[in-house]
Amino acid sequence: MTTSRRQLLTGAAATALGALSPAHAQTAAPARAARPNAAPDLLRARRLRPGDTLALVSPANATYEREPLEIAVESLEALGFKVKLGANVRGRYGQFGGTDVQRAADINEAFADDEVAGILALTGGSGCNRIVDKLNYALIRRKPKFFGGFSDLTSLVNAIHKQTGLITFHCPVAGSEWNEFSLQHFRAVAMDAQADLLQNPQGERGAHVVQREDRISTLRPGLARGPLVGGNLAVLSSLAGSPYFPDTRGAILFLEEINEYIYRVDRMLSTLRLCGALDQLAGVVLGKFTNCGPGDGSYGTLTLDEVFDDYFLPLNIPVYRGAMIGHIKRKFTVPVGQPAEMDARAGTVRLLSPAVV
């Protein structure tokens, strides 16, 4: 995602919150069609196992060189998976990885393919909003599978969950750096079916007397429970008013951003506030806001601290900042729609049950 993506954001909050109890979880059985204004039952995909086939798709930006695709395939193979390339994974239409029809078709075909156990995006960028209304959600409900990615994939992971009840995954894309931290959490959540504890690394002081990197900052302490929804702030706010915007009532909202001026972060948060998405949150987890500073030539600006205080402190709910979520090398795998408990003082999110079966 880059600063070039700008969209006029309008609208109102979306509809009712999905069933949260694990007792409502289903696996491969067809889900009934959602009643008007009612969220579909919660669905959990089968856990990924070594030897499974992952479909590699490009729903956002094109990959212009051969090497990044080769590295992504080799990385997934090193994790023990077989890889099946989407028909248009090497496609290009402008900056996108193929036309809208092609990119959506690759996702739909991967869900339909019984050989495929899960679907992972090659990269982020932009373009997922263009195909969010072209996915076959009835098919996805019938054949739930692991689906993951981050950044621009915020559109798809939230839309799929909202439309089908399937728990999706805000996680590294295939082209990410699969370091030990990221891999540990991916395996725990997506492969080992653990009720993972999402907690920043502790005690990494380096040459300093105190920990300086990956610190947690508590805006308001407290515990909260609810389903996890969110992702990239710019992409999420661009869905406001659409049927693909997540229901935030009773939810734990997690947010991250990169390369946006502070006044734009402020404007995106105002969109969430004005559409009612902040009104009934259970809690807020702020990830990394990488490279988000004052605008060029600015004679004065609010700080990120001040912006976050302005929007979140009046809510009187637990809020903390600094979680390992975002455009960073080491990142959590966060299951969208999964019931969890956050502790804003400790800076942790604990999944209340496995996100896969």
Question: Does residue 344 sit within a domain?
Answer: yes
Decide: helix, strand or coil at residue 348: strand
**pLDDT at site 207:** 75
Decide: helix, strand or coil at residue 232: strand
Tokens 């856990």, residue located: 47
Q: Tell whether 35 and 142 lie within a shared domain.
A: yes
First to last CA, the chain: 32
DSSP label at residue 294: P
Buried-exposed string 93-116: b where 16+ CB fall within 10 A, e elsewhere: eeebbbbbebbbbbbbbbbeeeeb
**pLDDT at site 298:** 60
**pLDDT at site 37:** 53
**pLDDT at site 1:** 45
Final residue of a domain: which of 175, 191, 207?
191
Q: Which positions of the chain have pLDDT values less than 50?
A: 1-36
Question: Does residue 10 sit within a domain?
Answer: no
Measure the CA–CA gap between 146 and 44, rounded to whole angstroms. Answer: 8
Q: Tell whether 216 and 322 lie within a shared domain.
A: yes
Q: Which two tokens stand for residue 9?
A: 């954001």
Q: Tell whether 109 and 205 lie within a shared domain.
A: no
**pLDDT at site 220:** 98
Q: Tell whether 185 and 201 lie within a shared domain.
A: no
Q: Which two tokens stand for residue 89?
A: 């994974």
339: Cβ contacts below 8 Å, ≥ 6 apart: 20, 21, 22, 225, 226, 227, 228, 351, 352, 353
Domain extent for 332 = 197-351
Q: Tell whether 89 and 202 lie within a shared domain.
A: no
Closest CA to 121 of 184, 69, 179: 69
109: Cβ contacts below 8 Å, ≥ 6 apart: 86, 87
Mean per-residue pLDDT of the chain:
90
Q: Tell whether 252 and 295 lie within a shared domain.
A: yes
Looking up residue 269, the CATH number of its domain turns out to be: 3.50.30.60
Decide: helix, strand or coil at residue 198: strand
Give helix 262-274 / helix 304-312 axis angle, nearest 10°: 10
Q: Which two tokens stand for residue 222?
A: 């407290």
∠ Cα 167 193 222 (to 5°): 70
Percentage of the chain lying above the pLDDT 90 cut = 84
Question: Does residue 211 sit within a domain?
Answer: yes
The answer to whether residue 327 is catalytic is yes
The answer to whether residue 256 is catalytic is yes
Q: Which two tokens stand for residue 72?
A: 């992504």
Final residue of a domain: which of 191, 226, 250?
191
**pLDDT at site 215:** 95
**Catalytic, out of 126, 260, 327, 341:** 327
**Catalytic, out of 75, 151, 182, 238:** 151
Decide: helix, strand or coil at residue 5: coil
**Catalytic, out of 75, 161, 238, 256:** 256
Model confidence pLDDT, tens digit, residues 176-185? 999 999 999 9
Q: Tell whether 181 and 211 lie within a shared domain.
A: no
| pTM exceeds 0.75 | yes
**pLDDT at site 19:** 39
Report the amino acid identity of residue 99. Answer: T
Final residue of a domain: which of 191, 208, 243?
191
